[in-house]
Amino acid sequence: MTQRVSSATFLAIDVSPVSIVRTETGLSKSFIDQILRRPLTAPLSLPRLDNAVIKLNFRPAAVAAAALAAILALSGCGGSSSATSSPAENPYGLIEPGTIRVASLGDSKPYTFTDAQGNFTGFDVELFKDVAHRAGVDKVVFTGQDFSGLLSAVANGQFDVGVAAIGITDKRKETVDFSSGYLAGYLTVITTKNSGIKDVDGLNGKRLGVVQGTLQEAYAVRNFTSASLVRFPDNNTAIAAVNSGSVDAHFLDYEAAKAYQEQYGLISAADIPSFDAPAGFAIAKDKPAFKEALDKGLAAAMEDGTWKKLYQKWFPGSPMPEQYLPKAEQTATPTPAPTASK
């Protein structure tokens, strides 16, 4: 095989692994394949080089390491394929054409959580999969993140979208774009039966847990100035602190609070309206086609009753926010239901 390379410089010393000091151009996939597939003791056909200095003194054990290092260096360390695929192949600018990579939460029941088998499920998960299908993408991969870093992970291209009942705010719009809203509701202060906290005034001088980066944290900073805020990476950790007495109460969304009340015998000290920041899917900026596809999918899911069906499944007994129902079922003044976003 003869692979022509205009210029390249390699330095390989008799150690393992071999260090590739500098490369100025890439080798072809076929050449890399030849390196990887050839037995370690077999002679290697090197590329033809015009202005290249190659010093090779490999031990057999170092060849595989050198090949792997070459691949990483020459391919930009596994960069996104969205930059190299054509608009026709990848109209939504996804990291991997045909796959939507989702940043989510594994402990935010009933919105997004992992079941006993480790699979993501919940209202937001099922709704997003339905919307993605309507957009023509059926391969959806969910990965759990701490909420505090979720939006930045979407913004910097680690994920295509964030799905976790994420409240749409002007501040967050500085980092990411959002789909249309699909959920709105209440926030809840949850505590133990013997904490003495009966309402928000009872938080004065108390230690109140919040999940870092959430709407609840922002609300508490503005409104619970007499409480000492304790920040946690997720709800499970915060509830464990409530149960152990490390904090006096935790501030979270209404539906998640209901689940913890049932599981641990906790009580709600206050339900606070939060209708001005509906939840939406977080999208990296400058992906208008992707946003448009998600918005269309959401609208269709609401109009044909899919959203309603999922809401009844995941929020049984909760009042239903009429603004997300089929138009024929909406009244003139819809009332948000007691669900909330982060």
User: Whole-number mean pLDDT of the chain?
Assistant: 80
Sign of CA dihedral 259, 142, 279, 159: positive
What does pTM read for this prediction?
0.62
Cα–Cα distance between 204 and 206 in angstroms, integer?
Answer: 5
- Confidence class for position 301, pLDDT limits 50, 70, 90: very high
Higher pLDDT, 36 or 118: 118
Of the listed ranges 14-28, 29-43, 271-285, the least confidently predicted one is 14-28
SS3 assignment, position 270: strand
Cα–Cα distance between 161 and 284 in angstroms, integer?
Answer: 7
In the chain, % of residues over pLDDT 70: 71
Q: What would the pLDDT profile of 58-115 be if each residue is shown by its tens digit?
A: 444 444 444 444 444 444 444 455 556 677 889 999 999 999 999 999 988 899 999 9
Higher pLDDT, 323 or 130: 130
CA 341 vs CA 124, 217, 219, 257, 279: distances in Å: 11, 12, 12, 12, 5
